Amino acid sequence: MKERIVLAYTGSLQDLMAIRALAEADDAEVVTLTLDLGQGRDLEEIRDRALATGAARAHVLDAREEFAHDFVLPTLHAGALHEVRQPMGAALALPLIARKLLEMATIERASEIAHGCTGADRNRMDACVRTLEPDVRVTAAARTGVAERNHANLLGRVHSATRPRTEAADRPAHVEIAFERGMPAAINGVPMPLIELIESLAIIAGRHGVGRTEEKEKSDVPGTELRLIYEASAAVVLHAAHTALETSVMPRDLLRLKREKATEYARIVSDGLWFTPARRTLDAFNAKVQERVTGSVRVTLFKETLLASDAGELVPAGVTHT
């Protein structure tokens, strides 16, 4: 009986190549796992391509609710941002992917899991896996050419491809976001489930170019550089509104302590230490703090800027309150 490998599979050309490479190198059955994290792609078509390429089985799981409530929401409550300015979309998805890979490996009785992460993402993924299952075999599927940096989920997307810039809307949009004990609950008085609320904010803020930034990063290929575009419209608006509300309802000493903890929370996510007692302890602290965070914040969106009225200051497109 052949060994089985469970591969985290996004549908990219690199992942399709990995299916064949892993099967041939290890003489194994490759089982793919694709998670719906709100990336907005046809995942059934992606599944069919995996099977056509040689996967023994291809699983597609809807993990949007789990991602939103168990990962996005705690990070919003923490006020955790990458380098104190960027929402952490890709890094935040990796712990969930790692957990689901291990769960599927148990179901499939697989002896190994594999993923295509490179650089810092590979370190984060491997750290998450080691925390949960120290003895499991993990393979980083081989990459060829320039490494791909196309990540997408509910919080936004990171891509390295050149994409035409969308003209921002000519008129400002006014959005009122209601929170109940830290939970985003309604937009303009209309109650919404968390996923629907995030998707609605992404559309509204995206029309105004809010949450779009551009950076350059060294590539895995020596002598080359990646031009990365970050789009995190909903996340930027939610962090700004949530922080504005906290500023108005919390005493200064508690607010100062919480912001100190936010930096540590962001480091935990960046280092792949999600499944640790330190993160759970900070979650307990933040949950207690959120008991105070009920109210509404009026946000104005216009030409890549936003104004959260309770905070009283303009916030550039790619930056939230810190």
Q: Structural domains in the chain? A: 4-140 (3.40.50.620), 168-316 (3.90.1260.10)
Higher pLDDT, 30 or 166: 30
Is residue 269 over pLDDT 90?
A: yes
**Residue of 104, 219, 266 whose CA lies nearest to 115:** 104
Higher pLDDT, 175 or 212: 175
Is residue 11 within 8 A of residue 34, CB to CB? The reply is yes
Q: How many alpha carbons lie under 13 Å from residue 230 in its C-beta half-sphere?
A: 22
Q: Which letter does DSSP use for residue 86 in this model?
A: B
Reading across the β-sheet that carries 112-115, which strands appear in turn? 57-62, 29-36, 4-8, 112-115, 137-140
pLDDT band (50, 70, 90) for residue 229: confident
**Residue of 207, 289, 174 whose CA lies nearest to 243:** 289
Is residue 156 within 8 A of residue 89, CB to CB? The reply is yes
Lowest mean pLDDT among 7-16, 164-173, 274-283: 164-173
Is residue 242 within 8 A of residue 182, CB to CB? The reply is yes
Is residue 251 over pLDDT 90?
A: yes
d(CA 191, CA 184): 9
Is residue 309 over pLDDT 60?
A: no
What is the number of H-type helices and E-type strands within the chain? 10, 15
Q: What is the pLDDT of residue 171?
A: 83
Distances (CA, A) of 201 to 142, 159, 238: 37, 20, 8
Is residue 235 within 8 A of residue 156, CB to CB? The reply is yes
Q: What is the pLDDT of residue 211?
A: 80
Region 166-171: what's the mean pLDDT?
67
pLDDT band (50, 70, 90) for residue 312: very low
How does pLDDT run across 108-120, given as a tens digit for each residue?
A: 999 999 999 988 8
Q: What is the pLDDT of residue 215?
A: 72
The C-alpha angle 151, 155, 160, rounded to 5 degrees, equals 30
Is residue 279 over pLDDT 80?
A: yes
Q: Give the DSSP letter string of 138-149.
A: EEE----SSPP-
How does pLDDT run across 181-192, given as a tens digit for each residue?
A: 999 999 999 999
Q: What is the pLDDT of residue 316?
A: 38
d(CA 26, CA 32): 15
Is residue 33 within 8 A of residue 8, CB to CB? The reply is yes
pLDDT band (50, 70, 90) for residue 320: very low
Q: What is the pLDDT of residue 321?
A: 33
Q: Give the DSSP letter string of 251-282.
A: -HHHHHHHHHHHHHHHHHHHTT-TTSHHHHHH
Q: What is the pLDDT of residue 201?
A: 94
Q: What is the pLDDT of residue 304?
A: 65
Lowest mean pLDDT among 81-90, 271-280, 285-294: 81-90
Q: What is the pLDDT of residue 73?
A: 97
Q: What is the pLDDT of residue 158?
A: 76
Reading across the β-sheet that carries 190-191, which strands appear in turn? 190-191, 183-187, 173-180, 295-302, 305-308, 313-316
Higher pLDDT, 77 or 173: 77
Region 137-160: what's the mean pLDDT?
73
| Residues above pLDDT 70, as percent of the chain | 85
- Does the model's pTM come out above 0.85? yes
Higher pLDDT, 150 or 8: 8
**Residue of 7, 53, 50, 48 whose CA lies nearest to 26:** 7
Q: What is the pLDDT of residue 314?
A: 37
Q: What is the C-alpha R_g of the chain?
A: 20
Is residue 299 within 8 A of residue 237, CB to CB? The reply is yes
pLDDT band (50, 70, 90) for residue 178: very high
How does pLDDT run across 25-55, given as a tens digit for each residue?
A: 878 999 999 999 998 888 999 999 999 999 9
Q: What is the pLDDT of residue 231?
A: 84
